[in-house]
Amino acid sequence: MGGVDKGLQAFNGSPLVAHALQRLLGDASTPPQVGQVLINANRNLAQYAAFGAPVWPDAQDDFAGPLAGFLTGLTHCTTPFLLTVPCDTPLFPQDLARRMAQALHAQQADIAMVGAPERNDAGEWQVRTQPVFCLLRRHLLDSLQAFTQAGGRKIDAWTAQHATVIVPFDRPGDEQRAFFNANTLADLRELETLRP
């Protein structure tokens, strides 16, 4: 997005981070998916803190990428599980946590990861893993610390070390574009045309 902070960009009149928090914490019309939240951000910390959740920068200064966020979340997680969601996907399902938890427990897995519909090059819908939507057991902290300290950066390489279940969100009635992420301002405008 040209160097701007994604989470603070407006989507339907509110910053993306506000949409993520509302989807996680619920409101008058939807129940909460989680009991508490934290925000992982590396700049504009005061602006993020204004949304009422604790804000933590990456635990490792020299480390960029989604695993840095996972590591920060697991470091500060006080519950048995951590659900991770990116701020640039404001339409993620309101039953995300429930379905991921059901799959994780049913498969006795350590990690549940979303599988979401996406169009391939031929224009056909197929289920593709969305690794930044994860439900992780908190005890994975030591494993992730060791992996990143050894130079590991790829989500798939780390999750392959653990029992992982892919949770498909392609049931009848599931929104096919629920996991569409906005990488540009044009993407945000396109998302605004979809139902919230």
Q: How confident is the model at residue 62 (pLDDT cuts 50, 70, 90)?
A: confident
Q: Please give the pLDDT value at position 186.
A: 86
Residue 1 maps to a domain: no
- Structurally, how many domains does the chain consist of? 1
Residue 31 maps to a domain: yes
Cα 9 to Cα 4: distance, rounded to the nearest angstrom: 8
- Average of per-residue pLDDT across 31-44: 95
Look at 193 and 166; give whichever has higher pLDDT: 166
Residue 196 maps to a domain: no
Instruction: Determine which of 127-136, 158-167, 183-192 has the lowest per-residue pLDDT on average.
Output: 183-192
Look at 3 and 128; give whichever has higher pLDDT: 128
- CATH code for the domain of 117: 3.90.550.10
Task: Tell me the per-residue pLDDT of 114-123, one tens digit each, with 9 for 90 and over.
Answer: 999 888 888 8
> What range defines the domain where residue 148 resides?
6-191
